[in-house]
Amino acid sequence: MGWLPGERFVTIPAMNAESFQQMHLTGRDYWWYQAKEEILGLLFRRFARIPPVGEDSSHQSRILDLGCGTGTMFGFLAERGRVTGLEPSDNALHFAAMRNKASLVRGGAGAIPFQDSVFDLVAMFDCLEHIENDAEAVRETARVIRDDGLLMVTVPAFSRLSSWRETQLGHKRRYSRSLLVNLLQSAGFRPVFTSYLYAALFPILVLKSLKDKLIQPPRIMKSDIVMLPEPWNGLMAGWFRKEARFCNRFGLPFGTSLVCIARPEKSPDSGKRVETKHENAHNTSP
């Protein structure tokens, strides 16, 4: 019998070795990651107090890539400091080690194996949605970040966009803006920028979600990270880089992902006004 609205997706093993291999092979050339690096780079320059590598040799910032996966973002982060990757999957760490751009530690976000207040920047790039107890993970992140540190988070957005792919990737949830902001605030963070991302993909994911709800979903685990031939990969990257620049200036009221930049409440400028974009956007609780 086909999958019907209201039924649960069939549970299958999440993120197998083949999926990690595909992530490793596409790397920074994939249009998705190029767009992500564009917006994160703009936000880093806008909010980070730590200079990029080479601008200030007196202090090399310590960066934690929490849930680093295959290390796709190591290149981006290594340009900004000394990177440590934390990841629970041996399969993912196998590919991350090939990049030779970070120190690697096997472990989970629920008990980060580092002392208090040691990292200048903590990155949680598409990580929180994989964690059962995301509140515990964010509290641990608050423990290891410095008082003047910066937290950068990206997560999938809108629970109504959930599809069979969520099960394939091991996602526990998607986030609304209010859910993510409240989660970070409850752990002692002060969001200074929040916006949706990948707005142009929104209608496509709506259709995919409807397809999975009305038609038999695929039963074979298959990665949808497929390198597009040129010029299509370049065109996609170019479009979403432009969208990223617009997002940095004005924010986006909807999209398939969320980005949030936050500081610890104990940060020296914690009294400044919180900046959030399009706070009245249509949010959907997961």
Give the architecture-level CATH label for domain 17-264.
3-Layer(aba) Sandwich (3.40)
Smallest Cα–Cα separation from 83: which of 56, 105, 107, 101? 101
Checking phi first, is residue 73 left (phi over 0); if not, alpha (psi -120 to 50) or beta?
alpha
To the question of pTM greater than 0.95 for the whole model, the response is no
Residue with tokens 């479009």: 239
When comparing pLDDT for 60 and 51, which is higher? 60
Q: Span 46-73, mean pLDDT?
A: 81
* Predicted confidence band of residue 221 (pLDDT cuts 50, 70, 90): low
- Does 207 score more than 70 pLDDT? yes
Helix H or strand E segment including 23: helix 17-26
- The pLDDT assigned to 131 comes to 93
Type and span of the H or E element at 142: helix 134-144
Q: Report pLDDT for 269.
A: 52
Over residues 44-57, the mean pLDDT reads 73
Residues for the chain: how many in total?
286
- Asked whether the bond before 231 is cis by omega within 30 degrees of 0, the reply is yes
The average pLDDT across 39-48 equals: 94
Lowest mean pLDDT among 35-39, 138-142, 163-167, 178-182: 163-167
> In this model, does residue 280 exceed pLDDT 80?
no
> Looking at 4-8, 122-126, 267-271, which range is the least confident one?
4-8
How does DSSP assign 177-245, residue by residue?
Answer: HHHHHHHHHHTTEEEEEEEEE-GGGHHHHHHHHHHHHHSPPP-S------PPPTTHHHHHHHHHHHHHH
Q: What is the pLDDT of residue 8?
A: 31
For residue 13, pLDDT over 70 is answered with no
Mean pLDDT value across the chain:
81
User: How is the beta sheet containing 257-264 ordered, strand by strand?
Assistant: 103-106, 82-87, 62-66, 119-125, 145-156, 257-264, 189-197
Per-residue pLDDT, 263: 97
Asked whether the predicted pLDDT for residue 1 surpasses 50, the reply is: no
The answer on pLDDT for 25 being more than 80 is no
**CA angle (62, 192, 117) in 5-degree steps:** 30
Q: Give me the residue spans of the domains in the chain.
A: 17-264
- Beta-carbon contacts of 49 under 8 Å, excluding residues fewer than 6 positions away, are 148, 150
